[in-house]
Amino acid sequence: MDFRKHLGLWMLLLVAILAFYGRPADACSCMPSHPQTHYATADYVVQLRVLRQSETIEPGKITYKVQIKRTYRATPEARRMLRDGRLSTPRDEGMCGIRLRLGRVYIVAGRIPSLNLCSYYKEYTAMTKTERHGFSGGYAKGANCTVIPCLNEGCHRGPIYDDECKWSRSEKCETEYSACMPRKELTVNGWISRCRWKHTQLYKKCKSNS
């Protein structure tokens, strides 16, 4: 199980790398990812405020001067990069460049050295309570669970393993109001842990309205 789970994460990472370094026409083909997956695979996850931007610091890039308000997780290399309070992104949107709004607060889950459309970035005020809780540590509780992107209808009809939850980008309730978490279930062989979508009150309300 562990091998299959880690292979899946490496495949997601490989797709992101190929998307970023591929040809311009293909550069923005990113694998759909649940926020929990962004949290698990990012080099850093931070809450930041965008102070200003410059197009002269790095050729071909926009550099944002940011105030890091909270660091939820970061690799040592990412922490060194974040000390400068600068994040860069390709100037050309055709090369996966993104645009952040000055003065706004975002949650960003990215990989070094630069931000791109395959990164996670969302204005804090636009996030649900579940998403905010997830990035502040809730998603970490599902570290042994993997969200598997479904790219076709047949995916949901296939087998579901104990360490995964299936998800498609169109599933708003699972994206904004839930997370893939381990849950104890009683079977004929006793209690076992299985990864399932967490049924929060907001998730239940979303499902009842959908």
Which residues face 61 on adjacent strands? 90
- In the structure encoding, which two tokens stand for residue 167, read together? 């998800």
The residue whose two tokens read 């499902």 is 207
Q: Is 156 helix (H, G, I), strand (E, B) or coil?
A: helix
Enumerate the domain spans of the chain: 2-13+38-127
Phi, psi (deg, nearest 5) at residue 197: -65, 130
Secondary structure element (H or E) that encloses residue 23, with its range: none
* Token pair for 33: 């990812």
Alpha helices in 54-200 (DSSP H): 76-82, 129-133, 153-157, 172-177
For the annotated binding site, the residues are 28
CA distance 3 to 34: 21
89 contacts 65 by C-beta, under 8 angstroms: no
pLDDT digits (tens, 9 = 90+) for 144-174: 999 999 988 788 888 889 999 999 999 999 9
Q: Can you tell me whether residue 158 is helix, strand or coil?
A: coil
Contact 102, 51 (CB under 8 A): yes
Q: For the chain, 210 residues long, give each residue's pLDDT as a single digit of tens.
A: 454 544 455 455 454 444 444 444 345 788 999 999 999 999 999 999 999 999 988 999 999 999 999 999 999 999 999 999 999 999 988 889 999 999 999 999 999 999 999 999 999 999 999 999 999 999 999 999 999 999 887 888 888 899 999 999 999 999 999 999 999 888 888 888 999 999 999 999 999 998
> What is this structure's pTM?
0.83
Query: How far is 168 from 130, CA to CA, in rounded Å?
Result: 18
Q: Burial level of 10, CB count in 10 A (0-12/13-18/19+)? A: exposed
Binding site for Zn(2+): which residues? Answer: 28
Residue 127 main-chain phi, psi, to 5 deg? -85, 150
CATH class label, 2-13+38-127 = mainly beta
